[in-house]
Structures are given as C-alpha cells and as structure tokens.
Amino acid sequence: MSNNNQTTYVKKIGVTQWEQSSARLDWAADLEAGCVLHFEALPFVVNPSEQRFFNAGIQSKGARNISLDSRGTLKGMIAPVEDQEALTRFILRYRSLAQKLVNSAFPKYTEHLRVAPTSFRPNQVETRAQSVRADDKRLHVDAFPTRPNYGERILRVFLNVNPVDKPRVWRVGEPFIDIANQFVPKIKPYSQWQAQVLNALRITKSLRSEYDHLMLGIHDGMKMSDEYQSASNQITYNFPPGSVWVCFSDQTAHAVMAGQFMMEQTYHLPVTSLYDPETSPLAILQKLTNKELV
Ligand code: SIN
Ligand code: FE
C-alpha cells in the first residue's frame, strides 16, 4: 500500500537565504516529527574552476565518499595537492552555509551540535553495487554497527550539486513509531555479554547499548525485508539540482534511488537539545519497550 500524500513526508520551504532572521519553531516541529525539510531556493554558487570536480574518477578506489573532517583533513580523493586544496575550499563553503542555516533556524541546537565530517559524493548512485546491509538504495534509518551513539541524534544537511539536470531521487518512508512497532518485536534480545565481547574485540568503538542494538536491528530488519521495501508506506521524491534538504536520518526512513554529485553535512546532537525530546527514537523506543535503553 503506498501513501502518496507527499506533504506529510516532505515540507517544501521557499526561503532564499541560508541565514534566518529568527528561530523557526515551525520547521523544528516538522523536522523533529520526522519530516524532510526541502529548501528549494537556497543559493550555492559553483565557480567555473570547480566544474572539474564533477568527475567520479577523483574519488579513491574503495572510499565510500570524499570527506573533510572537522580538523580540515581531506580523505578519499586522488588528485594533486592543488586540487585537494581547491576541493577543500569548495566543501568548506558548503559546510559554513549549512552551519549558518542550522544555527539560525534552530538556535536551541547550536551550543550542543557536534560537527561531523562533511562529504562530497561524486559516485553515480544507480550503478553502485553493495551488500544488502550497506545498500542505501533500500529504505532504512541510519544506525552504525561500529559506532554506538546512545541515542544521540544524527542530523544531516544535503545539497544536490549536480551540474546538469539530474535530480537526486529518494524514497521517504513512514513515521518512526510505525517502523518501531513492526520491527522491535522481531529483534533478538539484547545481550550485555555479547556487547562486551564486541567491545573487547574492538568491533565496536564503545560498548553497544540496548538502544544501539535495537536501532541496528531496525536498520537491518528494514533493509533485509523485500516485503517491507516494496509494500510499506512511502513516497518517491525528486530533489532537483540546487536543492538543500534536512532530516534526522536516524528517524526518517530514507533510500536513495538515483543521482550523482551531492554534498552532505552530518551533525550529532544530544536528545536533551531537541525542542521536544519526546519525539526522539530513544524516547519512542523507551516508551515502546517500557525500559531505560542507555
Ligand atoms: C543515505 O544517507 O542513506 C544516502 C543518502 C544519499 O546518498 O542521497
Ligand atoms: Fe542513510
């Protein structure tokens, strides 16, 4: 069954400046409810000399994307030093605009946001072959097997920077509560002992909490179910070049179906810094299971 009421999944926003003159509680409410905010008209200028970066060949073999970490180190690019410096400036320009948008629209987040790497993704989505668990062409919420986050939120700001007329095509799925209700009952019980083994073997970077166990179970359960992939409530949505979109990717079910050349900025945010912490996956899962998960 497909619910094609797009406006419940994606909110279009027409502002033309990255910096907002005051907090946008209306956007925050939509964002924290799991919607994708689609900014259709934020300006991002690509200089003529930067056109050369629109080439999938600049990415190192084996790298998932090209990324600039918070200390300014560029990873995943094969190119001469001067190109690396120019690409760093290109990515930094995007990072600072994304920061401006988030800080001005959501000042409650500002002080507690942790800036994660910014990525440039020159790969063509349609031709990328991956294992089911790693395949972002399948609907999922973000959860990472090696990096437990104890409920901390994953906020992402995306830009389709494609130089021709190629949209980035996403599927966006149903509310997190509906996903949790379907998958949580099927997840095998959390084992503290197993989490300790994974941690001792350094398979995880810290002890996997019960929250992280459930989030991974949901992520894997969604991706592994062909039935869920095709029959769950979802829409297909095109982000044309120049689009900026924002979502909590640990909450909003998403899949990328097509596109090439995207910028992406990730932030981590404590649950207590949300406008309404009760909307978080942590709060929803704690209510559902009736226990403390971190
Ligand atoms: C993802 O976050 O799952 C992929 C998003 C994209 O590449 O558009
Ligand atoms: Fe994802």
What spacing in Å lies between the alpha carbon of 208 and ligand 2's midpoint?
Answer: 20
For the stretch 9-49, pLDDT in tens is: 999 999 999 999 999 999 999 999 999 999 999 999 999 99
Provide, rounded to the nearest whole percent, the portion of the chain with pLDDT above 70: 99
Rounded to two decimals, the pTM is: 0.96
CATH fold, domain 6-175+232-277, is: Jelly Rolls (2.60.120)
139 lines ligand 1 (CB under 6 A): no
Q: How confident is the model at residue 80 (pLDDT cuts 50, 70, 90)?
A: confident
Q: Which ligand is nearest to the CA of 64?
A: 1
Q: Compute the mean pLDDT over every residue in the chain, rounded to the nearest whole number.
A: 95
Would the CB of 249 count as within 6 Å of ligand 1? yes
**Is the confidence at residue 190, as pLDDT, over 70?**
yes
What are the extents of the domains in the chain?
Answer: 6-175+232-277
- Residue 268 pLDDT greater than 80, yes or no: yes
Ligand 1 atom at shortest distance from the alpha carbon of 255: 3
Give, for ligand 1, the residue of 133, 249, 261 to mutate: max count of ligand atoms closer than 8 Å to Cβ.
249
Give me the mean pLDDT over the 195-209 stretch: 96
For residue 1, the model assigns a pLDDT of 42
Is the pLDDT reported for residue 175 higher than 80?
A: yes
Give the per-residue SS3 of the chain.
CCCCCHHHCEEEECCCCCCCCCCCHHHHHHHHCCCEEEECCCCCCCCHHHHHHCCHHHECCCCCCEEECCCCCEECECCCHHHHHHHHHHHHHHHHHHHHHHHHHCHHHHCCCEEEEEEEECCCCCCCCCCHHHCCCCCECCCCCCCCCCCCEEEEEEEECCCCCCCEEEEEECCHHHHHHHHHHHCCCCCHHHHHHHHHCCCCCCCCCHHHHHHHHHHHHHHHCHHHHHHCCEEEEEECCCCEEEEECCCCCEEEEECCCEEEEEEEECHHHCCCHHHCHHHHHHHHHCCCCC
The residue whose CA has the least distance to atom 3 of ligand 1 is 136
Residue 253 has pLDDT above 80, yes or no: yes
Residue having the nearest C-alpha atom to atom 7 of ligand 1: 256
Is the pLDDT at 275 greater than 60? The verdict is yes
pLDDT band at 2 (very low <50, low <70, confident <90, very high): very low
